[in-house]
Chains A and B, each alone.
Chain A
Amino acid sequence: GAVVSQHPSWVICKSGTSVKIECRSLDFQATTMFWYRQFPKQSLMLMATSNEGSKATYEQGVEKDKFLINHASLTLSTLTVTSAHPEDSSFYICSAPHGLAQETQYFGPGTRLLVL
């Protein structure tokens, strides 16, 4: 149990276009999901907390107008990178809490974005 999927697994796009990444909890419901960004050989940086039915909460320094988050249902959160630029190229990972105390995060496999 506790499987989180992401789609697509990788995407290449032209500079200036928008890219949508989906995060789904496959066998459980998640009112909260988290979006991270991981640079090569570095740790995960939390970008935002996605809340079902309300606005996302962004970490300091993360542009909310650039990284649009929509938590459409109890099993789906989407991250849209708007007007992508090469510096947005990265590995984007989502997670969702699950378990008795909701304290364990289950991670999606990640989406690698390359902006040309």
Chain B
Amino acid sequence: GNSVTQMEGPVTLSEEAFLTINCTYTATGYPSLFWYVQYPGEGLQLLLKATKADDKGSNKGFEATYRKETTSFHLEKGSVQVSDSAVYFCALGKSGGYNKLIFGAGTRLAVHP
């Protein structure tokens, strides 16, 4: 069945450091891939998405590229800020329809000044 695997956290970085959070998936067909972010005390917010192979999603300095050959969708940011501290969820959904999302376990990021 479909599944999402994320790197375990927590990830602790200093401000302006480079961030990578790994995400790999197992799926049949051609799923859409998403990164959601959950700030402390808040609900999930869509950070970025990619709907087909080689698409790059980007938002707020974050990027992720849909790599079909490696079944990956790693999240990257060149220079993190303290305000990026949150939990990041990689998710998979069927393309072309509003089917259920399958979430990874989430990766907690803590950025220190």
Residues of B within 8 A of A49 (CB): 100
Partner of B43, one of A32, A43, A93, A103: A93
Total A-B Cβ pairs within 8 A: 56
Known contacts: A97-B98, A108-B43. The answer to whether A103 contacts B32 by CB under 8 A is: yes
In whole angstroms, what is the CA distance A103 to B100 when docked?
9
In whole angstroms, what is the CA distance A96 to B19 when docked?
30
Instruction: Report which B residues bind A (CB closer than 8 A).
Output: 32, 34, 36, 42-46, 49, 51, 89, 93-98, 100-101, 103-106, 108
Instruction: Report which A residues bind B (CB closer than 8 A).
Output: 6, 32, 34, 41-44, 46, 49, 93, 95, 97, 101-110
Instruction: Give me the 4 closest cross-chain CB pairs, A-B, nearest first.
Output: A97-B98, A109-B43, A102-B98, A107-B44
